[in-house]
Each structure stands twice: as structure tokens, then as C-alpha cells.
Amino acid sequence: MGSNVELVWPESEAYSSRVNNCSHANSALAVIRAKLSAEQLEQFKTSCFGHLLNIDKIQFSGQIVHGVVLRRVAGQGVKDLDGLSFLIGCDVAQFTRQDFCLISGLRFGEVPEVSSGESDEIRLQKRYFIDEGITCNALEEAFMRCTEEDDIYKLALVYFAELVVLGRDKHLNINLNYLTLVEDLDAFNRYPWGSVSFDKTQDSLFSAPTKYVKSFENEEGRGKGKSKVTGTRRRNEKGKKDNHGEVQKGDWSFKGFTYAFQNHIHTCFADNKRKKEQVGWKIRTSLVNVVNGKVPACGLDWQNTYKVYVPCMLQKYKHWVALEIDLIQCEIKVYDSMVSLIPDQSLKEELGPLSITIPNLLHTLDFYEEGVYANECTRDWWCPWPIHRVDVPQQANQGDCGMFVLKYIELLSAEIPLATCTSQNMPFFRLKLAAEIARGDAYKP
């Protein structure tokens, strides 16, 4: 398959280069951790960027990124495709919006207009900056000088967005609209940062690296100049290759959320290795078997149902809740018999990894590409699935959460109202369950 693919850069012209990573995770997070208080750091963890707070633990490998970028498939335009394609091994792999969303966990959607008004109407700019144009370096300095707690947190969010998620060069100006957007934290957290970051990342991959010819002379030796060349050496008027020039292949800057692309590369390498060895990924196999209905013994293939019910232990609180995984609405509903125990935001933080794992798992199985769900889902299923709490009957003591979860799932599966699921009825339900276990009925599908 790979031998028939034309590359933007022929293998004979491949070269080594230094890649400047513009997603400044190491330095930016060091500044954020040093500036924010323990309470502010906890608040940051609950933001739209909270799950990326340890992204600096990933080591960026410019050599690997550069090697793959040189193997970009030719004949693609950046504005009219789902994602750029690269020849990795013998396979062509695309880096799509879905891949970026699943890896980054950032929100996608239509990018709304953010009106900043006149420059003097931007409160944060007026208070902390002198110049109309604000560079990332100036933003960092203002962030470090700031003493107002609320503003420290807001500047931290904009600082992280610009220097890590969008990977902007430190000498370039920031988007002033973000200083307006961050005044409304809910709007800031709902903003489709994934859409903006993906476009910036893909644009960077599309435009770099480039080649330049310098100090060339024409055939008559008249004059010198510079010419930008894309993929081939400069040709003279007769169409022959002009070898008077020296091809300079310099360093290039990778902008956007670079770590998402690097993670995608590693995944493609792992996929190729598994294909060659003809083995599966053991960790994922157990999850795949759940979706396929092989486990538990009474399980069903997810292609044969619209909703999946799962008991879930929230380890931090030692509390059981029931989850409804809606495969049509692409969302997770939480049936909690003791809502006073866990605040909504803490609950979403606890279940946050699940909202990313489920679409990632279904993507692995091409769940929405074929079968009954090919055209059924009502939203972009590859985005992190929203988590909602449902108003349900509550327990009156501290020890009935497990029994409530079992009854929630039993009644919901049978499409029976939850009105009978009350604390007064729990003693009877416990005896009923004990009898079913003794007879073996509890294990029947």
C-alpha cells in the first residue's frame, strides 16, 4: 500500500531538522504551579483544561514528529479535508478532528463570536497592560505581577490557553477576545477550544516544514536572490533543474497543541506493531469484550441496545451510583441516591475519565461507522460525553446506596418507574435479593 503513495517530501529529500515546540507546557505549567494557591489549583482542575494539568510529564520528541511530517501524503489541501494523512510504515494514517478530540479531551463545536468591544472596554487589558498589542511574554509578566485572586485565576486560564492549548509563539500577540471571554468562566469553559486548537495544529502541520533556496545564480550569472520552493528544486526557464542554488533546510516551529499529534503518532506506531505481531492490546481487550457482550455472562452486544446500565463505585467517597450510558444521545446519566454527599462539579470530575474513555473505546471498534448506529447518534460522538445527574428517590441512611443502585438498574432496564425505590422498601428488596441469590435466579439474564 505504501509503495503507491506519493509524498510531499520524496524519501530521497528527507533531512534532519530541529522542531521548535510552541506548546510551552513545561515552562507554562511551572509558572502556573508557582503562582496559584492550593485552592486555585484545585479550581483549575475543575476547568476545561484541568485534565491537562500534568501534560508536561510527556516528553516532546521533535525528531519523531519531524520524521512523520516529512511523510505527509501529497495532493491534500488543508481547508477541504477531514485530516492530513501520513505514511507510517506501510499504512496511511489520518490525523482527524475525531482523533484530536479523543486524545486531547477538549470541547469541539461551532466557534462563537466573542466581542471585545473597544480596547479600553477590556477590563483585564486596561488594568494590567499598557500596549494595545499584548504578547505572550507580556501576558506572562502580568500574570506573575497580579495580586488579585480572581484575576490571577482568570489570567492563568488565558495564559494556559495561549501558550499550551493553542501553542502560540511567545513573541506574538494574544487574542484579546480571550481576555473578555474569561470574565464569564462558564462561557470560557464551554468554549470549543478543541476546534480552535485543531485548526491551528493542522495549519502548522500543513505549512511546515518548507525548503528555501538561497544565493542562487541564473545561467548568465546575473544577480542573486532567494526563492521559496515547495518540494522540488528550482527550475530554470527551460524547465531544467537549476543547481546553482544551495538548498537550506532549516529549523521549523510546530504550533498548536503539539502533544495531541505526537500521541497520535505513538498510537499509529503501536497499531502497526500489533498488526505485525498479530496480537491484541490486553488492557483494551477486556473493555472490548464488554462492548461485544462477551462479559459479563449476562451481557449483551452494545449494537443490540440503546442504553447501557453500569454500577459505579466512586472510590473517593466510597459511594455507589448507577450510570446510564446513552448510545444515541451520547451522554452519561448519573442515578445517585445521595446527592448531598457529592457536589455536582466533584461528581463530574470523578467521572471525567469515563466521558473520554467511552468514545475512545467505541472509536477503536468503529462502533458508529457501521451497524445500527451508523446514522443514529444525535451529536458528535467522538467529543467527551456530557455527564448529567438525574432526579431520583433518595436514601434515608448511610448504607443503602448499593441496594438503591441495583434497584435503579433493575427498574430502568424494565422501563418501570422508580417510584417504588424508596428507603421504606429497601428491607423488603434486600430479602427478595437474598432469596434470588439462594435460588440462583439473580444470575440469570
For residue 179, pLDDT beyond 90: yes
For residue 283, pLDDT beyond 80: no
Query: Which grid cell sits at 19?
Result: 522542531
For residues 324 and 249, the model is more confident at 324
pLDDT at 213: 39
Determine which helix (DSSP H) or strand (DSSP E) holds 68, and give its type and residue range.
Answer: helix 62-69
pLDDT at 241: 40
For residue 388, pLDDT beyond 80: yes
| Residue ranges in 184-236 assigned as alpha helix (H) | 185-190, 193-207
Overall average pLDDT of the 74-90 stretch: 73
For residue 284, pLDDT beyond 70: no
pLDDT at 271: 58
**How far is it, in rounded angstroms, from Cα 335 to Cα 174?**
43
> In residues, how long is the chain?
445
pLDDT at 349: 84
Q: How would residue 11 be classed by pLDDT, with cut points 50, 70 and 90?
A: confident
Please, is 318 exposed, middle or buried when counting C-beta atoms within 10 Å of its C-beta (0-12, 13-18, 19+)? exposed
pLDDT at 75: 78
pLDDT at 176: 92
Per the CB < 8 A criterion, the answer to whether 193 and 384 are in contact is: no
Neighbours of 390 (CB within 10 A): 14
Query: In this predicted model, what pLDDT tens digit does every residue of 208-266 receive, in sequence order?
Result: 776 543 443 343 343 444 434 333 333 333 333 444 444 446 789 999 999 999 988 88
Q: Which of 59-73, 88-102, 406-420 has the lowest mean pLDDT?
A: 88-102
Overall average pLDDT of the 413-441 stretch: 90
Q: How would residue 3 be classed by pLDDT, with cut points 50, 70 and 90?
A: low
Cell 462479559 identifies what position? 295
Q: Long-range CB contacts (< 8 A, 24+ apart) of 434-439? A: none
Give percent of the chain above pLDDT 70: 81
CA distances from 72 to 67, 69, 127, 209 (A): 10, 5, 46, 11
24 φ, ψ (degrees, to nearest 5):
-80, 60
Average pLDDT over all residues of the chain: 82
Write down the domain spans for the chain. 2-205, 293-443
Which range, 91-95, 169-173, 235-239, 381-385, has the best average confidence (pLDDT)?
A: 169-173
Q: Which of 80-89, 126-135, 164-173, 174-183 has the lowest mean pLDDT?
A: 80-89
For residue 425, pLDDT beyond 60: yes
For residues 239 and 101, the model is more confident at 101
Query: In this predicted model, what pLDDT tens digit does every residue of 329-348 receive, in sequence order?
Result: 899 999 999 999 999 988 98
Q: Where are the beta strands (DSSP E) in 126-190?
A: none
Residues 6+ apart with CB under 8 A from 391: none
For residue 367, pLDDT beyond 50: yes
For residue 44, pLDDT beyond 60: yes
Cell 520528541 identifies what position? 61
What does the radius of gyration of the chain's CA atoms come to, in whole angstroms? 27
For residues 239 and 78, the model is more confident at 78
Overall average pLDDT of the 64-69 stretch: 90
Overall average pLDDT of the 130-145 stretch: 92
Q: How would residue 371 be classed by pLDDT, with cut points 50, 70 and 90?
A: low
For residues 101 and 82, the model is more confident at 101
Displacement of CA 397 from its chain's centroid (Å):
40
* Nearest residue to 179 via CA among 141, 146, 139: 139
For residue 442, pLDDT beyond 80: no
Query: In this predicted model, what pLDDT tens digit does every residue of 146-169 receive, in sequence order?
Result: 999 999 999 999 999 999 999 999
